[in-house]
A and B are shown apart, each in its own frame.
Chain A
Amino acid sequence: MRLITFPMERDYSLTGPERQNAFQRGLAGADWYRTPVDRKVLKHLMKRTDWPATRDISIWVAVLVGSGAGGILFWGSWWALPFLFVYGVSYASAADSRWHECGHGTAFKTRWKNDVVYEFASFLMMRNSVVWHWSHARHHTDTIIVGRDPEIAGMRPPQLIVLCLNLFGIVAVPQGLVALARNAAGILPSDEADLIPETERRKAVRVGRIHIAIYVLVAFVSLWSWSLLPLVIIGLPRAYGIWLLLVMGLPQHLGLAEDVLDHRINSRTVLMSPILRFIYWNMNYHIEHHMYPMVPYHALPKLHEVVKHDLPAPNPSLWNAWSEIIPCVLRQLRDPRHFIRPQLPEGAGVWEPVQSNLTA
């Protein structure tokens, strides 16, 4: 592993000076490196089917309903805790990957099934489904390009306190609710307006209103019944169940390069156990996902086998990934230009992607 530093101060907003900088440097909407894959093999990997997602969503819903029912049944006793622990993780940490895959439209072959799960998971995650659909499209166009990517979780210098508080949604949940309320009021701030075309904005406002109406209703029921239980079942799990997502998801890009046009350098593949891969729907194969977003989650392990000769060696475990991330992030507190550059294998494809000539 080689560690590199280079000088630069950053502004991560989508409308600040870094936006212009990204365009000027040919980083916005550029061509990215992709490990070549034979078209026949790729077609096989991209193939859509309803079955794996039907099975996995059924298990997920059954766990949600079962653990939620346990939490309700034992509410008021310590026995509720293990049920709510499982419920929270299913509600928030597992919903993120369902949101993600169905947002790409790859989980199911049948379109409406993707759409239904996407809307449901967006609600659980407190995300406006329209805003985040466009935000995630941009994340794929300009992955970790400062001034363009709205989904950079590991800004530099790192906000360690915020990252830690967000293990329990302490900052993210109020932020998410405020963002939804703003949309519900018909407001799309400049960063969101930069992402969403005019024609989609009304839809974003409508979604904001629906989400906020449900939360207000649940809060009202909680108040009326003088019990926290309704909020513990709807809303609060986004806070108390999100920690596992951060443990699994932050390594996707944390500590890696900004402003490069090669996902092998700015993304990380981490090997995980089958249980974590079920919760995370194989998003641990993150370089592979970014290179070929059309490959459904269930085919990512196979894609990994096809392209791994051209990728940095994957981190063999989450523990291993965090062991390299934590010292890097701590150093970034003093030196925000510091990052980890993964070592490409010998004979790996050359990193010479074509830069864009788009203008802002």
Chain B
Amino acid sequence: MPWIDACALVDIEEEDLVRLDHEGRTYAIYRIWDEEVYCTDGLCTHEKVHLADGLVIDHTIECPKHNGQFDVRTGIAIRSPACEALSTYPARVADGRVLVEIP
């Protein structure tokens, strides 16, 4: 899978996320702290709501619709009504840019 230049690191606040639409799919890119970044599918596995409107708390993303939570590092659902894991994708920072490896 190719590495995609998603955005500048400064485009994402610490403890926050942005939405990335690519090839007809939606992803969520998280910046936890400094250069610690992660990438997951952008839609909640419960009811396909955009996670980009959600809240990042430590390493979890909370869905804006029913407060289901996922661990952004593993994609694992940690609070119902989110039960199914999110797919995760490699993400890194190079020269102030966030790169993600997505299909």
Contacts and interface: CB of A to CB of B under 8 A. Distances in A.
A43 B67 contact: no
Nearest to A292: B64
B47 A294 contact: no
Contacts of B75: none
A293 B67 CA distance: 8
B66 A140 contact: yes
Interface string A101-136: 000111001010000000000000000000001100
A200 B67 contact: no
A48 interface: yes
B97 interface: no
Contacts of A347: none
A111 B58 CA distance: 12
A293 B55 contact: no
B66 A293 contact: yes
Contacts of A200: 80, 83
Interface string A187-202: 0000000000101100
A46 interface: yes
Given A43-B16, A133-B80, A294 B55 contact: yes
A42 to B, nearest CB: 8
Contacts of B80: 133-134, 200
Contacts of B79: 105, 111
Contact of B83 (A104, A199, A293): A199
Nearest to A198: B83
A48 B58 CA distance: 11
B46 to A, nearest CB: 8
A134 B47 CA distance: 13
A322 B99 CA distance: 56
A137 interface: yes
A141 interface: yes
Given A29-B47, A105-B69, A294 B64 contact: yes
B16 A197 contact: no
Interface of B: 13, 16, 46-48, 54-55, 57, 62, 64-67, 69, 79-81, 83
10 contacts: A43-B55, A105-B69, A111-B79, A133-B80, A134-B81, A137-B66, A140-B65, A141-B47, A294-B64, A294-B67
Interface of A: 29, 43, 46, 48, 104-106, 109, 111, 133-134, 137, 140-141, 197, 199-200, 292-294
Given A106-B67, A200-B83, A293-B66, 6 more contacts: A43-B16, A105-B79, A134-B80, A140-B66, A197-B83, A292-B64
3 tightest A-B CB contacts, nearest first: A137-B66, A137-B81, A105-B67
